[in-house]
């Protein structure tokens, strides 16, 4: 027997537990995690402007879309577990196990890439502090001033004085947002991979039915076996489509909004860069 949640979605479970999105956990600690993540994300949205607001809104929308669809995700995983419990053929079980192995490898790869990104974000303020305070190198001091102008919006009062606090807060938001994106993205990919596994099982059952039909000694028993395999293939195909459609039905609107916000954020940031270059060119 395959235990989908504990075997194939173990890494996804750990990441989703970190941010309180695992549908099987609804304790007070999980509610505290949700409040904490929301507080940090929304606090970043509140004090940022225009492109910064849109950039951090993507994290909020992605987080909220999974929080709202917790029960849908839970039902989809339970449906996937029921389908796996019905598998008896060794090859069909092996197909689902390969899907689980792929999901774990993909999740591990993306998770390590995000860990490297988090380490870089943590080290960035430390490196700035060493260059600015400990070494006191003029060239690096000029570079730091340029970085402040690039990374911290102009509406911050005393941004040079509170540079490290602002960078720390923004960095923590980006780290939590990165974990949210990794958790949600890998969960969707893992579920899609298992849905593809169910389609492969349906194809395998059709192949078995065709193999029975092409046998020379066609008998009533062989016809019954062939029809049974076709029925089973159609059944698992129908279940795969139904489960996948339900899993992603709650994310359609949020994905559409994220697409619009992503385009707007990119456009505004590119406009801001080009406008800054024009001003610098005109006024020297």
Q: For the chain, what percent of residues have pLDDT higher than 70?
A: 71
Six-digit token string for 215: 């046998």
Q: Provide the pLDDT for residue 269.
A: 63
State how far the Cα of 76 lies from the Cα of 85, in Å rounded to an integer: 14
CA 102, 233, 105 angle in degrees (round to 5)? 5
Q: In this model, does residue 3 exceed pLDDT 80?
A: no
pLDDT one-digit tens code per residue, 210-259: 776 666 566 667 777 777 878 888 888 888 888 888 888 877 777 777 77
CB 125, CB 168: distance < 8 Å:
yes
Q: How many CB atoms lie within 10 A of CB 32?
A: 11
**Domain ranges, ordered by start, for the chain:** 4-283
Average pLDDT over residues 28-45: 81
CB 127, CB 171: distance < 8 Å:
no
Reported pTM? 0.73
E strands in 39-142: none
Please name which of 281, 258, 71 lies closest in space to residue 180, comparing C-alpha atoms: 258
- Max mean pLDDT among 6-20, 105-119, 158-172 falls in 105-119
* 152 or 186, which is more confident: 186
Main-chain dihedrals φ then ψ at residue 217, nearest 5 degrees: -85, 75
Average pLDDT over residues 15-24: 84
> For residue 183, what are the CA distances in angstroms to 13, 49, 86, 221, 249?
9, 27, 28, 49, 18
Please name which of 239, 92, 75, 112 lies closest in space to residue 186, comparing C-alpha atoms: 112
CB 23, CB 68: distance < 8 Å:
no
The rounded mean pLDDT for the chain is 76
Q: Provide the pLDDT for residue 109.
A: 92
Measured on CA atoms in the order 155, 156, 160, 166, is the torsion positive or negative?
Answer: negative
């Amino acid at each position: 027997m395959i235990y989908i949640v504990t075997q194939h979605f173990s890494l996804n479970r750990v990441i989703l537990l970190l941010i309180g999105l695992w549908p099987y956990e609804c304790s007070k600690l999980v509610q505290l995690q949700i409040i904490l993540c929301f507080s940090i994300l929304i606090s970043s949205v509140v004090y940022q402007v225009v492109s910064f607001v849109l950039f951090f809104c993507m994290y909020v929308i992605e987080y909220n879309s999974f929080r709202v669809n917790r029960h849908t995700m839970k039902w989809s995983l339970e449906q996937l577990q029921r389908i796996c419990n019905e598998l008896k053929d060794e090859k069909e079980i092996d197909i689902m196990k390969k899907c689980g192995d792929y999901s774990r490898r993909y999740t591990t790869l993306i998770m390590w890439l995000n860990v490297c990104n988090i380490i870089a974000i943590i080290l960035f303020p430390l490196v700035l502090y060493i260059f600015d305070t400990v070494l006191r190198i003029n060239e690096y001091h000029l570079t730091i001033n340029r970085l402040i102008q690039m990374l911290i919006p102009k509406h911050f009062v005393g941004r040079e004085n509170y540079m490290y606090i602002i960078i720390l807060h923004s960095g923590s938001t980006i780290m939590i947002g990165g974990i949210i994106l990794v958790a949600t993205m890998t969960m969707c990919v893992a579920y899609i991979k298992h849905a593809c596994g169910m389609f492969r099982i349906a194809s395998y059952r059709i192949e078995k039915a065709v193999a029975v039909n092409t046998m020379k000694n066609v008998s009533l028993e062989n016809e019954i076996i062939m029809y049974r395999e076709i029925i089973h293939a159609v059944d698992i195909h129908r279940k795969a489509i139904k489960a996948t459609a339900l899993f992603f039905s709650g994310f359609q609107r949020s994905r559409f909004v994220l697409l619009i916000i992503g385009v707007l954020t990119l456009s505004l940031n590119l406009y801001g860069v080009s406008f800054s270059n024009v001003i610098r060119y005109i006024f020297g």
